[in-house]
Chains A and B, each alone.
Chain A
């Protein structure tokens, strides 16, 4: 019975696969056609929706331009530094409020409500504290990244099978041993989810502060292109930014191999 069901679903997925691919190609064609049509229609100001050929040309030009790679390096440095700092604190905070029930009762609502606030409003304070250089960008990225990690890990810690913890107690494990042998393995999916959400949000934090006030980085370059009304270059920079975020997300997913079939996909939505 089960075997029949499996064969059936396998056959259906094989037959459906080509249809899915067709659907995807159709969607891409429609999106490109809409873009080109809107650009050619004259409904928008001239040059606001440049043909995708110009955008690709601008992208290729950027990739051969050493000034662009300078901006790219600065942004990458900011995102990674902010991400590392924010996730380290986020993991510690999540473990803290997850492992201690009382601490969780006190601080978890605070973390949860802060998680739903727009972090970019803290930027003026960070600008005063760290200046308009990379410091304010890194700190905003780190602050943004803290919350998804802390929340997803705290929730996962509470979800750990109590049996494992009792076994740990019977074996007289020290705190470090418990973290290493019980918490970390049980938390891998939550850490992976948190890290992926955190990376996206750290990217938003760093890029938003670059866009607001900076003299380096991809956000700065995009705003400069906007100022010159060089829309193809601006869009090419946006493509680079989104590709970087997507690549980071995939890399993190690859680095942390997820055990179990249920955890392969991000099911939790970020609160920015």
Chain B
């Protein structure tokens, strides 16, 4: 990997960009998390963000989710500037994020955690009703069927295994049905067999035309197997931006600042 890497910011392919990150800088009290980053993500793309911890992956995901705002620059999804305090219904139809810790409400039955994806469409009254008679029930059933855990719909979420809870989180995003699906470390601390399953489900989630997936990843062979594009971040900047199949252990090791013989740390 030559110094500087391949930097190919801007549009890739002819598709109109679904998400645009334009000259974005975000700083935290001690560090610059993102430094003048430019990216364009087209519909149908499956983008893997790779890079050591502290490289800015999570910050980039949070900015794309609209839950954090850049210090300067613009983040837009589906042509809408996310800094413009969008109504929650609109924002939730643009982006959905699945966090590493899943962040479900363990005390609730699975059905309510899944139907949370419909909140953007419900008013207060309908939400109250849903506590007693789950609204849009068929959507929850369909999503859980696709996840293969339809039989768990009435179970208390906290009683499910880690893998099942991950499926519940994905089912919520499926019901939410956003244009851009974000996943923060979806398969870290997951065994290899399950990592394959989860990535398949995430890919299926964005297979519809007009959608895209962005996930932070650590394992090169999974990136080349499931993603179309790999973006390497280092010190808050885009270090490389290549087709996913080209991502090799060597390229990633360079990103982590390690020799090629050394292994890549699994997490953090």
Partners in one complex: no
Chain A residues in contact with chain B, CB under 8 A?
none
Q: Which residues of chain B have a CB within 8 Å of any CB of chain A? A: none
